[in-house]
Amino acid sequence: MISAVSTPEPVAPDADNEENVKTQHPWLELEPERFQLIRLSALPADREAGLRPLRFVSLGRVERHSKEESFLRLTVDVPGLNTNKEVNTLEVWADHQASQIRINADFPLQVEPSNRGLGRFLLAQAVVWARKRWNHYTVARLPLLAKYAPSDVARLRRDHALQAQGFNVAYEAGIQMRADCSVGRVSQLHSDWNENKVCLIDTVDSAMMLQNADKNLNEQSAHIKKLNQRITLLKSEDSTLRFTIAMLAIFAVFQAALLIWIATH
């Protein structure tokens, strides 16, 4: 008796996944093409962020343009810090048909390390990019959710950074759980940031820093070598002195014994 084998019916693809695949913009897969060095100045220790030493991080940039839209992505790479790809990333879309700028429309702006001025710096770079060609474009509203601000201090710091760049932050009916970040046009935004915290370093300055560091390293190596030679010489002299003292002690004991023997005989 042969049993009939039922063939499973093909499962229809998920409509949402299929739509996401279709709507995935090819520019979202772009990798950074230009890099700059950023200096994060040393700051006093913070209660939430902890120690804030001098650090050097990398700023990656990629942009694309077409008749319909333009795209800019800024990414900050911090050595030794593993984060999600959405952290330290700022994306800006310019819709030329609607004459509108969208900033991080798909995910909120999150920066690590926090409280180092990186948020304002990234926003300022986005404003500089947008004001070059589309100063008259409107700016899309940006929702601000409380879950991305772990504390009231972080929320106030976020609001201050946005307001410093020219954005308006308005909470819904006095509730601090949700707010909207808005501004009229690109021309109303500010392109400055706290350069005492974050400083862009060009290629020449980077080369000079490396050259000075190499020079200081060589000088320190030569100084350490001289100190090691001095220590070796002192150790040799110390061994000689120890031997001399030991011989003198033996001679003194022998002489004392000889004098005692002479006195008793």
- State the CATH number of the domain containing residue 154: 3.40.630
The C-alpha angle 255, 260, 263, rounded to 5 degrees, equals 125
Mean pLDDT of all residues in 100-124? 90
Mean pLDDT of all residues in 226-241? 86
Q: Structure tokens of 207?
A: 């080369």
71 contact partners, CB below 8 Å, separation of at least 6: 27, 63, 64, 65, 91, 92, 93, 94
Contact 183, 193 (CB under 8 A): no
pTM (2 decimals)?
Answer: 0.72
User: Using 50, 70 and 90 to split pLDDT, how confident is the model at 2?
Assistant: very low
- The answer to whether position 80 is within a domain reads yes
- The answer to whether position 215 is within a domain reads no
> For residue 154, which phi and psi values (nearest 5 degrees)?
-65, -35
Residue 1 has pLDDT above 60, yes or no: no
Task: Burial-class residue 162 by CB neighbours within 10 Å (0-12, 13-18, 19+).
Answer: buried
Residue-number span of the structural domain to which 142 is assigned: 30-202
- The answer to whether position 78 is within a domain reads yes
Structural domain tally of the chain? 1
User: Using 50, 70 and 90 to split pLDDT, how confident is the model at 18?
Assistant: very low
Residue 47 has pLDDT above 50, yes or no: yes
Q: Quick one: residue 140, left, alpha or beta (phi over 0 = left, psi -120 to 50 = alpha)?
A: beta
- The answer to whether position 41 is within a domain reads yes
Mean pLDDT of all residues in 48-77? 92
Model pLDDT, residue 174? 64
Contact 167, 190 (CB under 8 A): no
